[in-house]
Amino acid sequence: MTLQITSAFDSGNIIVESINGDSASLRIAKDHQSDFYQWFHFRVTCEPGTTLKLAITDLADSAYPGGWQNYDAAVTEDRMEWLRAPSSWDKDAGTLTIQWECESGSAWFAYFAPYSYERHQNLVADAASCEGVTYRQLGTTGDGRPVDCLEMGEGEKQVWLYARQHPGESMAEWWMEGALAKLTDPADPHARLLRQKCRIHVVPNMNPDGSVRGHLRTNGKGVNLNREWHEPSEERSPEILCVRNAMDESGVDFAMDVHGDEAIAAVFLAGFEGIENWTDELGDKFYRYQDLLSQRTPDFQKELGYPKSKPGTANLTISTNQIAQRFGAVSMTLEMPFKDNQFLPDKQRGWSPERCIRLADDCLAVLAEMIDEI
Ligand code: ZN
């Protein structure tokens, strides 16, 4: 039986160059009308017990070549538990080679454990059915999908949590699953406090078109949504236009934008240094959030992260900066790794959906702890 390889499903992405015995040579398709590529997701079927050798080639020009160093691909055979398949990076050739002994005869490989559109719909339906939760469709994407928002809480402070502007960063929606589970739990004390003091707006997937199409970084029109916040348009970025309009209606006191980072093997936050409206008082609230989160969970750290922008040089096309500047909000970007937390590694699973869910719990507990300061 020869290998069969397909990506003809939700968020699938692979091009098969050749198959030779137990080995295959593969490539990743670019995002539609864009040069970004890094997300892959495909199924292999084979004789049970085959040791697969899958070479993903042509990666020197991928979006983040540094993402392949010390990276192991995500794999599942039972479609429940995602493990890591030992992978080796040949930088000179630009090739990632994944090795996996496929016991059952079917295995799914992905850049990170996928968060399917079916699961997204279940997430929205489950949350919307909880007491005190209101569902709102904020707008419609270019491909005709709803931009879903869940709202809850009776307080004055406006909290916005939104994720997956970059659709290949599926860890962001696993985080959202943890966040919504906590926020809708009537027995959870942090959630009770937050719902008492805040109105919470949750957009679990900002970019459903890119997610379904198997994109890394853009929507169905090939637009990087996190470079549109200064001037979103119906033509290019209806997802951002409708969310920013809803934010203009409600105002924003606290915002978290949830992402994944290809290269850095750690969880970190990025703030809004460099905005014109920067004040130390506002900035200190962000730093205090960061301090409290690093004290609360060993899965979060402050040493590794992005360089801070110099005064007056913040990029206002990026949501975190735009929201801090526009609303005077405590605004931040949460980054989780595709690789692992290098300070607390898990060889078998790497950074995993389960760890995203736990992290969301800690992030909201810290928000509850300092909500009176925001
Ligand atoms: Zn991102």
Report how far ligand 1's centroid is from the alpha carbon of 167 (Å): 8
DSSP state of 351: S
The CA distance from 253 to 370, in Å, is 13
How far from 315 is each of 158, 188, 217, 265, CA to CA, in Å? Answer: 23, 37, 18, 24
Report how far ligand 1's centroid is from the alpha carbon of 259 (Å): 4
* Residue 360 DSSP SS3: helix
Per-residue pLDDT for the chain (374 aa), expressed as one digit of tens each?
Answer: 789 999 999 999 999 999 999 999 999 999 999 999 999 999 999 999 999 999 999 999 999 999 999 999 999 999 999 999 999 999 999 999 999 999 999 999 999 999 999 999 999 999 999 999 999 999 999 999 999 999 999 999 999 999 999 999 999 999 999 999 999 999 999 999 999 999 999 999 999 999 999 999 999 999 999 999 999 999 999 999 999 999 999 999 999 999 999 999 999 999 999 999 999 999 999 999 999 999 999 999 999 999 999 999 999 999 999 999 999 999 999 999 999 999 999 999 999 999 999 999 999 999 999 999 99
Chain-centroid distance, C-alpha 370: 25
Place of tokens 């909201």: 364
Report how far ligand 1's centroid is from the alpha carbon of 3 (Å): 33
Q: Does the predicted TM-score (pTM) go above 0.95?
A: yes
Report how far ligand 1's centroid is from the alpha carbon of 5 (Å): 28
| Residue 265, token pair as written in the block | 């093997």
Report how far ligand 1's centroid is from the alpha carbon of 225 (Å): 10
Report how far ligand 1's centroid is from the alpha carbon of 169 (Å): 6
Active site residues: 335
Q: Are 267 and 359 in contact (CB under 8 A)?
A: yes
The residue type of 124 is V
Report how far ligand 1's centroid is from the alpha carbon of 164 (Å): 7
